[in-house]
Structure 1
């Protein structure tokens, strides 16, 4: 999956990128303990996440890995979820029409409960995961904030400029966009105070919006209305 991202972004044209799979976090922590970035060599660690929020998962992973000097990134909830950040890419390796329908019905990547098992169900085995073909990084970055954070971090290290375009037409609806943006924040960060005085966290809102609850719909509507008015004011300056 990491090689797929490197190829899709053209990062191999900027630097020689070597990818090493080290297994469990204990092995990763031991391997990266003494690593330091310098002018010639840059390192990052990527682990599966234990938190839904990108910010929270990265902080927890840094603690688990002994707070190394290099950047630590997380795949939320596991790297198998990233395969489904571009549904068409995932469907290219689906083992049956029913499996393709399962991918179409799947929630956003980071809301898939058991990505490893889901991947096994639709591909049959790990050896049949998609590894080649067109991968829509713009769409994937819009649907998976942990994927976006990782590719932006790696691109910055190798000096590549990324300019993601939000492919709204390919997202299922506005709820996907808003829910994904909220998952970039710490889960407990209060991001909204309702008219009744309730203080709602980013994690609560992300789930409420993805589930289409009245609270989530109310926030999404208010957010879009404020954004509309702000953009209109800027346009008339």
Structure 2
């Protein structure tokens, strides 16, 4: 049986380059015949994919920049913006440029100066970079100098960017490939990175915690508080880890 054809529709050249980098890191070319098409914006993508449907041999995916902070919220909004097509729609949160920094070493290899490398080291988690396009221009100089190909740590990137993980897992499943991401704890700055990114996989307004004072806190609020090191975030992270510790200990003693 021949490998399926996978076509990914993206907005522009930066998206095209980043998607190919991800697929190279995943080894996806061994599982599917891949075509990544830069369409020039959401409207053109929406128009082209309106009547497309997947079949056994041909798979289609749309990838656009997000307009929401959470993976779940952004995908739902994007599906609406693209006319609710029958094919899968994924989002880069907040833009595709953020994914470049999901693996800091990959980004630093293309930085235009030592100062630019230091900027990357000080940057927050990818999906919390306020203006990723401008940040990318500041550290690379121009879009034509964005990094591509090379040694991209897909496991680290998947942990640091929930939207990137949703995309690569979704595409892999679509073509029948299986990938398990190893948690590269030694490369994460601290536990806050892990907890904050896990919360960003949920709808931003979803209430995920009720404090001892009765306050109900949403996933979006907690993700930011944890990433910022705020007392509320630290309290939640501590309680989460304590509950997880006790649960795992109970399971181990059954």
Classify the TM-score, shorter chain. over 0.9
TM-superposed CA distance for 1:132, in Å, is: 2.4
Mapping 1:17-56, distance limit 5 Å: 17-56=34-73
1:157 matched to 2:174? The reply is yes
Structure 2 residue aligned with 1:204 = 221
Structure 2 residue aligned with 1:134 = 151
TM-score scaled by length of structure 2 = 0.93
Deviation digits for residues 180-202 of structure 1, max 9, x if unmatched? 00000000000000111111000
Instruction: Kindly report structure 1 stretches of 4+ aligned residues shifted beyond 2 Å.
Output: none
The partner residue of 1:170 within 187, 196, 202 is 187
TM-superposed CA distance for 1:23, in Å, is: 1.7
Is the partner of 2:107 in helix, strand or coil? helix
CA distance in structure 2 between the aligned counterparts of 1:222 and 1:141, rounded to whole angstroms: 24
Structure 2 residue aligned with 1:184 = 201
CA distance in structure 1 between the aligned counterparts of 2:147 and 2:56, rounded to whole angstroms: 34
Structure 2 residue aligned with 1:147 = 164
Bigger strand share: 2
Is the partner of 2:91 in helix, strand or coil? strand
TM-score scaled by length of structure 1 = 0.99
CA distance in structure 1 between the aligned counterparts of 2:149 and 2:222, rounded to whole angstroms: 36
CA distance in structure 2 between the aligned counterparts of 1:174 and 1:126, rounded to whole angstroms: 33
1:97 matched to 2:97? The reply is no
1:63 matched to 2:108? The reply is no
1:114 matched to 2:131? The reply is yes
TM-superposed CA distance for 1:133, in Å, is: 1.1
1:224 matched to 2:241? The reply is yes
1:124 matched to 2:141? The reply is yes
Deviation digits for residues 125-175 of structure 1, max 9, x if unmatched? 100001121000000000000000000000001111010111111000111
Is the partner of 2:238 in helix, strand or coil? helix
Q: Do the aligned residues in 1 keep the contact of 2:20 with 2:149 (CA within 8 Å)?
A: no
Is the partner of 1:226 in helix, strand or coil? helix
Deviation digits for residues 79-111 of structure 1, max 9, x if unmatched? 000000000000000000000000000000000
Is the partner of 1:191 in helix, strand or coil? strand
Is the partner of 1:45 in helix, strand or coil? strand
CA distance in structure 1 between the aligned counterparts of 2:172 and 2:214, rounded to whole angstroms: 42
Q: Do the aligned residues in 1 keep the contact of 2:160 with 2:193 (CA within 8 Å)?
A: yes
CA distance in structure 2 between the aligned counterparts of 1:10 and 1:157, rounded to whole angstroms: 15
In structure 1, list runs of 5 or more residues that go unmatched: none
Q: Do the aligned residues in 1 keep the contact of 2:24 with 2:149 (CA within 8 Å)?
A: no
CA distance in structure 2 between the aligned counterparts of 1:2 and 1:132, rounded to whole angstroms: 10
Is the partner of 1:43 in helix, strand or coil? strand
In structure 2, list runs of 5 or more residues that go unmatched: 1-17
